[in-house]
Structure 1
Amino acid sequence: MNAPKPPTREIVIHERIGELRAALFDRDRIVELRLERWSTHESRVRWGQIYAGRVTAIDGRIGGAFVDLGVGEPAFAPFGREREAELRVGAAVAVRIVREAEGGKGPALAYEGLAPQGPCPRLLEDATPWQGWPGEPREADEDEIDRIDAAFEAALHTEVPIAGGGRLTIERTRALTAVDVDSANRETGGTDPARFARGLNLAAVPEIVRQIRLRGLGGLICVDFTGPRRKGDAEALTKALISAFDAEKNGGVAAPKTEVLPVSRFGIAEIARQKRRQALADICLDAAGQPTAETLAIEGINRLATSLKGAKGRTVTLYAPAAPLAFLEADPIGWRQDIADTIGGQFHLRLGRPNQTQCEVVIA
């Protein structure tokens, strides 16, 4: 009897001190990432949740209602040209989260009708961090933890290599995400400029779509391809992009709605992708693109935890820059208690050296 084939897609999760990391594997390759921090688990709403909320204001100019969910920022439920009669100030309504809060904007809602009897506001139906992925999650093994950690780190870098040579540069602004395709040190493709550009651009397409998925990018995304040189090149790129986005829906993945406009004669592709969740960069990086104090602190905590496991009674000291140290000392996520309950051992927190940018651990 033949052994059953392993699943094509798997949800693999790894919870470490301070955050839960989830990865969607497709044929043993990571194609999507999700991140949930302990610090915001109960202080912000999540895509897919359903709440009973209270309507606090109606604004006919923008065709929507503002709703108090009892958590985080006021949320907005559009009602279009005509408003349901029961949708009025003070009404208790059931709403589904269709876009999480981001960039100073509150969550976006879909109106589901009047809320059932009971307290309001309140959570009616929860959603997992891996909402929209097919199947049930399993815990990561040691090799998968390393792969997931590496994928998270790479997804925060601005430059990404293209298979066969070349690179993508991905930069975000308030208005859009810009993706630049550059030949870099690519050698494949021959000496003919037109053939070289076509090969580079087509090779870039799968990685562009993968990076959009990995990073959780949404809104307007503009891709600057190496200029198409021959008739039909722009059409080929457009078809390749559409096909790559269509493929993400296979296997039961609830993919965000995505529209790809025809690639222009200047080699510019415009992609409009539904926003649902916070992008990874919005969670992990500050406005200057540097790791936040919380991001650095969580890395430091987990290095500390690893060191304590092998300290064998010796004292472990975590040296941290000022901002992460302040986060660690305030302990808004209960990391000290978690270490005491699961690992134990003696440790100290100290201010790091001047100009130190990462947390460092010393065992003495």
Structure 2
Amino acid sequence: MRRSARCGGVKFGIVRRIGETIAIALTKDDAPISAFIWRDRKLDPAARYDDILPAIVRSIDKGRAEAFVELENGQTGYFNLNPAYDPPAEGARIQAKVVAEAYADKNVRVRPVNDPPLLVGEDAALKRWTSEIIGPSDDVETLTDQEVIQSVHDARSDIEASSVTLASGGQLHIERTRALTAIDVDTSGTRQGGGVNDRALSEVVRQVVLRRISGLVVIDVVGAPKGAKAKSLHSDFQRGLRGAPIGKADVLPVSAFGLVEVRIQRRDMPMSELSFETCSAGRKALEQAMLMLSEIQLAAEQNVTSRFVIETTPNVRGVFESAGFDWQGELADRYGARFQFRSRPVESPTEFEIMTQ
């Protein structure tokens, strides 16, 4: 079992909300370690890690040694062909196990199995995440519901930030492109250059776990470390990634230009895809609807005697209607008959508005 390296215990909490379950793990100093967000499958039917889905082989690309399949939920998946075996025929029906979730323009990565179909449940996914983050000997402090909600909000701000300040001076500048994630280590004008690369690479490990960064990552460290120092940076960074709850990570030695390159195997959807501000275009409608639902619940919990008028455009309502998800009924069941719902014109500047009566 692989876990993030840290000192001291862990602050931990879980909150079940309408349409989603959220959980957070923090260090004793309140630095986020990892967040868990599970969406109701009615709202988000995307294939999840470890699902086993019926699939139909749609095409074989022998040049790239890949097979493309249509999963039962309508998503496209692919797997690499094994040269030791004949490829399946187009139209063949197989069982496909999800080994990497889809996001943006990246398809689901699967592998053929002989096991029966399986949709991973929320409890099983939460148990996996918890076991990877919290060790049996960790001192665990339980967070309140409000602390969990606030901590997840703060973690999202951390995830969305393009710059991260290092504890002892310096910054990381993180930029995600189509091809790779670029990280620049910056001393930010400080004079304490000594040790900044060690601190920076340790923080990179935390950011990789928190943001669920995968694929090619290129880190431009300070200077161009050589000899024993370069070897030490490489081995410490490699050790940190191998102890983290992520896919397999291959780290190259520090280059002559001071670049550290690492390829992290894709597994879970990046956290950026679970936020309206940073998700890809294909998830915008869902994330907008989930943002609205979250804000309604916060308002209801912070103003326990208030009544509310909720205005929504057809775009937001359509997310729930197409999924057959009775969000208005769920709100009434949890918070009582405190809501009045109204339509909002499509041309409105915002998709929804929450007003206190």
CA 168–53 in structure 1, closer or farther in 2 if over 3 Å, else same: same
Question: Relative to structure 2, which stretch is displaced further, 172-181 or 14-23?
Answer: 14-23
Structure 1 unpaired stretches of 5+: 1-6, 117-122
Larger Rg: 1
Structure 1 letter corresponding to 2:152: I
Match of 2:293 among 292, 301, 318: 301
Corresponding residue number in structure 2 for 1:331: 320
Q: Distance in 1 between matches of 2:229 and 2:342?
A: 58
Structure 2 unpaired stretches of 5+: 1-7, 135-139
CA 363–175 in structure 1, closer or farther in 2 if over 3 Å, else same: same
Corresponding residue number in structure 2 for 1:64: 66
Deviation at 1:225, TM superposition (A): 1.4
CA 94–288 in structure 1, closer or farther in 2 if over 3 Å, else same: closer
May I ask how many residue pairs the two structures share in their alignment?
333
Deviation at 1:158, TM superposition (A): 1.4
Match of 1:35 among 25, 34, 37: 37
Deviation at 1:264, TM superposition (A): 1.6
Match of 2:186 among 159, 182, 187: 182
Deviation at 1:281, TM superposition (A): 1.4
Question: Relative to structure 2, which stretch is displaced further, 164-173 or 65-74?
Answer: 65-74
CA 241–165 in structure 1, closer or farther in 2 if over 3 Å, else same: same
Match of 2:269 among 267, 278, 299: 278
Corresponding residue number in structure 2 for 1:124: 118
Structure 2 letter corresponding to 1:281: S
Residues 89-116 of structure 1 show CA distances to partners (whole Å, capped at 9, x for unaligned) of 3433232111112232321111224x66
Q: Distance in 1 between matches of 2:254 and 2:34?
A: 25
CA contact (8 A) 2:215 2:263 kept: yes
Relative contact order (C-alpha < 8 Å, sep 6+): which is higher? 2
Question: Relative to structure 2, which stretch is displaced further, 146-155 or 281-290?
Answer: 281-290
Q: Distance in 2 between matches of 1:182 and 1:239?
A: 21
CA contact (8 A) 2:315 2:351 kept: no
CA contact (8 A) 2:19 2:43 kept: no
Residues 18-47 of structure 1 show CA distances to partners (whole Å, capped at 9, x for unaligned) of 433233456675322233333765521111
Corresponding residue number in structure 2 for 1:153: 157
Q: Distance in 1 between matches of 2:213 and 2:53?
A: 25
Q: Distance in 1 between matches of 2:179 and 2:102?
A: 16
Corresponding residue number in structure 1 for 2:80: 78
Q: Distance in 2 between matches of 1:329 and 1:92?
A: 33
Structure 2 letter corresponding to 1:341: D
Corresponding residue number in structure 2 for 1:347: 340
Corresponding residue number in structure 2 for 1:49: 51
CA contact (8 A) 2:12 2:25 kept: yes
Match of 2:259 among 268, 293, 296: 268
Q: Distance in 2 between matches of 1:282 and 1:221?
A: 18
Q: What TM-score, normalized by structure 2, do the two folds share?
A: 0.78
Structure 2 letter corresponding to 1:347: Q
Deviation at 1:51, TM superposition (A): 2.4
Deviation at 1:269, TM superposition (A): 0.9
Deviation at 1:214, TM superposition (A): 0.6
User: Percent identity among equivalent residues?
Assistant: 24
Question: Relative to structure 2, which stretch is displaced further, 217-226 or 335-344?
Answer: 335-344
Deviation at 1:256, TM superposition (A): 0.9
CA contact (8 A) 1:177 1:220 kept: yes
Find the residue that maps to 1:83 and give its secondary structure: coil
Deviation at 1:313, TM superposition (A): 5.6
Corresponding residue number in structure 1 for 2:137: none
Corresponding residue number in structure 2 for 1:141: 144
Corresponding residue number in structure 2 for 1:244: 240
Corresponding residue number in structure 1 for 2:113: 112
Q: Distance in 2 between matches of 1:9 and 1:308?
A: 30
Where do 1:198-217 residues align within 5 Å? 198-217=194-213
CA 288–107 in structure 1, closer or farther in 2 if over 3 Å, else same: closer
Deviation at 1:68, TM superposition (A): 2.8
CA 53–271 in structure 1, closer or farther in 2 if over 3 Å, else same: same
Find the residue that maps to 2:199 and give its secondary structure: helix
Deviation at 1:342, TM superposition (A): 1.0
Find the residue that maps to 2:213 and give its secondary structure: coil
Find the residue that maps to 1:82 and give its secondary structure: coil
CA contact (8 A) 1:202 1:237 kept: yes
CA root-mean-square deviation: 3.7
Q: Distance in 2 between matches of 1:231 and 1:318?
A: 63
Residues 330-360 of structure 1 show CA distances to partners (whole Å, capped at 9, x for unaligned) of 53443222111111203355769x9977966
CA contact (8 A) 1:256 1:276 kept: yes
Structure 1 letter corresponding to 2:71: L
Q: Distance in 2 between matches of 1:357 and 1:150?
A: 23
Find the residue that maps to 2:209 and give its secondary structure: helix
Residues 39-97 of structure 1 show CA distances to partners (whole Å, capped at 9, x for unaligned) of 76552111111223333333322223322321132211222323347x33343323211
Corresponding residue number in structure 2 for 1:226: 222
